[in-house]
Amino acid sequence: MNPTLKNFLFVILALLIGGMVNMGIIVLGPNIIPSPEGVNPQDINSIKENANLYSAKHFIIPFLAHALGTLVGAFIIAKLASTHHKKFALIVGAVFCLGGIIMAIGLPEFWKFSIIDILLAYFPMALLGWSMAGKP
């Protein structure tokens, strides 16, 4: 198989699996740290209207979801790519970071969390995933 096509398919696979890790943590998160009373976490308007009810503990699960989804995706592509392992891990990190930026724009009420999330959950985790894969 053509290495370029193979790498492209592996990037898609890494994004899908990383996204599944992210969503799995987000879905299970309220069982660990419940949302504030009266907030529907599935409704962005409910989150915005009740932003004042959120405390630091409510941001642990989203941060872990973003960081671990990126880490898993970057690790997978770094392990599977034919070449340019680090570059592809960073591409996965960039795609997840773009999603984080879109969420930050959609929920400007949480700008402090968004800054921390964007700075620490994406590119550092992509580099860590690449490093854990043991590829040059």
Return d(Cα 74, Cα 133) in angstroms, integer.
9
One-letter amino acid of 23: M
Q: Cα(43)–Cα(29) distance, rounded to whole angstroms?
A: 15
Burial of 100 per CB tally in 10 Å (0-12, 13-18, 19+): middle
Rounded to the nearest 5°, which phi and psi values hold at 132? -65, -25
Token digits of residue 136: 């040059």
pLDDT of residue 95: 98
pLDDT for res 65: 97
- Residue 11 CB neighbours (<10 A): 20
> What one-character DSSP code corresponds to residue 106?
H
Give the pTM: 0.93
Alpha carbons 93 and 24: distance in angstroms, whole number: 18
What is the pLDDT, as a whole number, of residue 42?
83
* Residue 67, pLDDT score: 98
pLDDT digits (tens, 9 = 90+) for 60-113: 999 999 999 999 999 999 999 999 999 999 999 999 999 999 999 999 899 999
Split at pLDDT 50, 70, 90, the class of 1 is confident
Residue 127 has a pLDDT of: 97
**6-40 residue pLDDT tens:** 999 999 999 999 999 999 999 999 999 999 999 98
